[in-house]
């Protein structure tokens, strides 16, 4: 009886390990291309450092808006931050930040250390409202035009190649 139990446990552990190692080698591709060319979702967000709400329809005041979902605890967000600072110097586009599942004090400390590329920042402390934008992890960045149409979506940290692509798109 003990041998059967041991063999059953060994078999079960072997299957679990096999599934684990197979999943490590599989490349997961998250395709959000169906969002390109579609309008962004209309939602209200609480502002991070001001009283009040921000409505996504307010994006229509800008020719282009880069919406960046970030958090102070996110390592890749730190990696991409210098590229956001670079993009913030461009006058043809505004960068709107959505602080994702973070504490206000931590977000402010993050921005004080690394600089603030955002013209305005909203908070999504639960992460539930970001789902409306097709966000499932951070960092994610969405470029929209004044008609509130999604032009590009970047999953993961943006880099210098993405900066070039964004600048080319807004010209």
Using DSSP bridges, classify how beta strands 140-145 and 64-70 pair: parallel, antiparallel or unpaired: antiparallel
Which pTM does this prediction carry? 0.79
| Assigned token pair, 101 | 């599942």
Q: Collect the ranges in the chain with pLDDT lower than 50.
A: 26-28
The pLDDT of residue 32: 67
Count, residues in the chain = 171
The pLDDT of residue 135: 87
Helix (H) or strand (E) holding 114: helix 104-114
Instruction: Classify burial at 86, counting beta carbons within 10 Å of its beta carbon; exposed 0-12, middle 13-18, buried 19 or more.
Output: middle
Give CA–CA dist 31/129, Å, rounded: 20
What is the per-residue pLDDT across 14-59, written as a single tens digit (0 to 9) for each?
Answer: 777 677 666 565 444 556 677 888 998 888 888 998 888 888 888 8
């Amino acid at each position: 009886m003990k041998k059967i139990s041991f063999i059953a446990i060994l078999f079960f552990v072997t299957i679990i390990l096999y599934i684990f190692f197979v999943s490590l080698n599989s490349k997961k591709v998250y395709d959000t291309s169906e969002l390109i060319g579609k309008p962004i979702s209309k939602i209200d967000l609480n502002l991070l450092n001001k009283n009040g709400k921000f409505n996504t329809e307010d994006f229509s005041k800008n020719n282009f808006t880069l919406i960046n979902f970030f958090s102070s605890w996110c390592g890749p967000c730190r990696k991409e931050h210098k590229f956001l600072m670079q993009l913030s110097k461009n006058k043809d586009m505004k960068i709107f930040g959505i602080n994702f599942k973070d504490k206000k004090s931590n977000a402010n400390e993050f921005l004080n250390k690394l600089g603030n590329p955002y013209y305005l920042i909203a908070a999504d402390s639960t992460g539930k409202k970001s789902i409306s934008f097709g966000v499932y992890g951070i960092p994610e960045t969405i470029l929209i035009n004044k008609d509130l149409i999604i032009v590009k979506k970047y999953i993961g940290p943006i880099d210098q190649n993405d900066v070039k692509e964004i600048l080319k798109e807004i010209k």
